[in-house]
A and B are shown apart, each in its own frame.
Chain A
């Protein structure tokens, strides 16, 4: 089955600086890679995703890159703000209805004002 590793487990960044979270996956058939943000006491929320037919996707201050050859993908947050503080999860799946989403172990991001 799929195995997703996520690093780092904790990350502290000065407000305004950039943050990068990296994930690797094991199943070369995985083709959908979402990122979730979970604020304290809240549900995980999809913030950005990428499918295997593209190498990069951007949405305002967040971007995701995918390297299928190396089987890794990364989340980039630029110009970080205090409201970016949360736990971030990466995930991978083959994307069909009977394939589960395999989550990374999460990164607790703290933005220092």
Chain B
């Protein structure tokens, strides 16, 4: 009965490839997020969706494209991967500010 789940947990790929990360939440929350956590542990918000609509889009390269097929799912597609994209990507969902994170996807670009 995992609240927020992500797949895959680990992703190792070469520069230039395209990859996707999937996220699902069963909490019934309307708002979902993608965060990037770099090696220094800083948590940076990338995108936020409310009820399938994009509401926050931080300064993120347009190689990153989120997609929300329904309010329980928020996927992240990354085109033309670069070395600097290596990080842990966390999905989260929230209600009234309380955010719950997924287990994270460790992306390594070689």
Contacts and interface: CB of A to CB of B under 8 A. Distances in A.
27 contacts: A32-B97, A34-B97, A36-B101, A43-B90, A43-B101, A43-B103, A43-B104, A44-B90, A45-B101, A46-B98, A46-B99, A87-B41, A97-B31, A97-B50, A97-B55, A98-B48, A98-B55, A99-B97, A100-B33, A100-B48, A100-B56, A101-B94, A101-B99, A103-B42, A103-B43, A105-B42, A106-B43
A73 B52 CA distance: 33
A44 B33 CA distance: 14
A43 B102 contact: yes
B11 interface: no
A44 B45 contact: no
A97 to B, nearest CB: 5
Contacts, number: 52
Nearest to A43: B101
Contacts of B45: 100-101
Contacts of B90: 43-44
A44 B43 contact: yes
Secondary structure of the B side of the interface?
strand
B60 interface: no
A82 interface: no
Contact of A34 (B42, B98, B104): B98
Centre residue among B42, B43, B90 by max chain A CB count within 10 A: B43
A85 to B, nearest CB: 14
Contacts of B55: 97-98
B100 interface: yes
Contacts of A103: 42-43
Contacts of B97: 32, 34, 49, 93, 95, 99, 101
B31 A106 contact: no
Contacts of B43: 44, 89, 103, 106
